[in-house]
Amino acid sequence: MSSHIEEKIERLKQFRNAVILAHNYQIPEVQDIADFVGDSLGLSVQAAATQADTIVFCGVLFMAETAAILSPQKNVLLPDLEAGCPMADMITAAQLRELKAKHPGALTVCYVNTPAEVKAECDYCCTSSNAVELVNRLPEDKEIIFVPDKHLGQYVADQTGRDMILWPGYCPTHVRITEDDIRKVKQEHPDALVLAHPECGRAVYDVTDEMLSTGQMIKFAKQSSNSKFIIATELGILHTLKKQNPDKEFFAASEAAVCPNMKKITLEKVAWSLEDNQFQVKVNEEITSRARKALDRMLEVLPAK
Ligand code: 13P
Ligand code: SF4
């Protein structure tokens, strides 16, 4: 049975011809009212393809900015402007320009978790689900700068054998998940498979069965014949995993893996967002056209898993 607030959201959504996109880390109630729940790549694909006039982005600022770049004619709303990504803010366009000046001729790849101005400085953008495939396609005689996540960058370097110049950024939520945490949960559930996000870093490689983006974790859990999984990423994903697989069991690698920014969006804020057309996320034309090139290249590369 839907509540008053859910009905209000539905009504306002029709009124604005809006689509609600939610990341896998959103709170359960927000995931449940969304038209599409997914990972950064899946959400970008949806944002680029939707016929709606308005996109309500239940995620963090860089995701809404990405939607605004991919669909510049659309009205993109972020229900809470304070929902940022601390990792994305660990690099500025000026810092990247300085790094590029030290490595003339290098190709520059950014994780989608970056401000629009940083994307505008890059040749390629990627998400955790297609980073390895994208880097594998780059000419072998070129140096590669990868920003801002040193852990995803290291994972890609390990997988591709490419020498990469890494920026020292990281996700404050994923680094809370330690190898010891995983070992402890594994002791209690020895037959569970460990699925970890590459933002966790090398320290968890030895105790992990599969390194996957959030969208890949959902696909993997559904298709696997295993019935128990230890999940090493932000806790919001457990909602979808449990909902889609009622006969399987999911255990958090660490209860500390909570991203406070992803939890800022609530049903009330989604309703206010639709009611007052707030908060509009706009990226200026010059940055949009420069960042678009890197984002279009990201959308061309399908994930292997
Ligand atoms: P994915 O959902 O693309 O795996 O990204 C994880 C993340 O941390 C987004 O902020
Ligand atoms: Fe940023 Fe990490 Fe939160 Fe994702 S989980 S939005 S990378 S801080």
Query: Among 153, 170, 187, where does a domain finish?
Result: 170
- Mean pLDDT, residues 258-271: 98
CATH number, residue 120? 3.40.50.10800
Express each pLDDT in 30-39 by its tens digit.
999 999 999 9
Residue 177: partners with Cβ closer than 8 Å, 6 or more residues away: 196, 200, 204, 232, 233, 253, 254, 256, 257
In this structure, the answer to whether residues 161 and 179 fall within a common structural domain is no
Q: To the nearest 10°, the Cα dihedral for 239, 220, 130, 203?
A: 80
Average pLDDT across the chain, whole number: 97
Residues with CB under 6 A from ligand 1: 24, 39-40, 85, 113, 127-129, 171, 197, 199, 213-214
- The preferred substitution site among 25, 235, 265 for testing ligand 1, maximizing ligand atoms within 8 Å of CB, is 25
Instruction: Give residue-wise pLDDT tens across range 37-49.
Output: 999 999 999 999 9
- Whether residue 216 lies inside any domain: the answer is yes
CA–CA dist 110, 120 (Å, integer): 10
- From edge to edge, which strands make up the β-sheet containing 249-252? 210-211, 193-196, 228-232, 249-252
Where is pLDDT greater, at 128 or 302?
A: 128
In-domain check, residue 289: no
CA-based nearest residue to 197, from 57, 20, 23, 52: 23
pLDDT of residue 32: 98
pLDDT digits (tens, 9 = 90+) for 67-100: 999 999 999 999 999 999 999 999 999 999 999 9
* Residue at 137 is within a domain: yes
Percent of the chain with pLDDT over 90: 96
- If you take atom 1 of ligand 2, which residue's CA is the nearest one? 85
**Interval between CA 136 and ligand 1 midpoint (Å):** 21
149 & 202 share domain: no
| Alpha carbon distance 227, 100 (integer Å) | 47
Residues 96 and 151 in one domain: yes
Residue 69 lies in a domain: yes
Please state the atom number of ligand 1 nearest to the C-alpha of residue 197.
4
Q: Take atom 4 of ligand 1 and give the residue whose Cα is closest.
A: 213
How many Å apart are CA 136 and CA 142, to the nearest integer?
12
Q: What is the pLDDT of residues 198-239, one digit of tens each?
A: 999 898 999 999 999 999 999 999 999 999 999 999 999 999
- Taking residues 160-173, report their average pLDDT: 97
pLDDT at 170 over 80: yes
Do 61 and 103 fall within a single domain?
no
Residue 303: band (very low, low, confident or very high) from pLDDT cuts 50, 70, 90: confident
What range does the domain containing 142 cover? 88-170
Please check whether residues 152 and 136 belong to one and the same domain.
Answer: yes
Which pLDDT band, with edges at 50, 70 and 90, does 1 fall under?
low
d(CA 114, CA 91): 8
User: What pLDDT was estimated at residue 305?
Assistant: 83
Q: Last residue of a domain, which of 141, 170, 199?
A: 170
* Number of domains into which the chain is organized: 3
pLDDT over threshold 90, residue 12: yes
Which one of 138, 170, 202 terminates a domain? 170
The atom of ligand 1 lying closest to the CA of 60 is 10
156 and 111 share one domain: yes
List, as one string, the DSSP characters of 58-118.
Answer: ES-HHHHHHHHHHSTTSEEE-S-TT---TTGGG--HHHHHHHHHHSTT-EEEEESSS-HHH
304 inside domain: no
Burial of 13-37, coded b for 16+ CB within 10 Å and e otherwise, reads: beebebbbbbbbbbbebbbbbbeeb
Residues within 6 Å of ligand 2 by CB: 60, 85-87, 113, 171-174, 199, 234, 259, 261-262
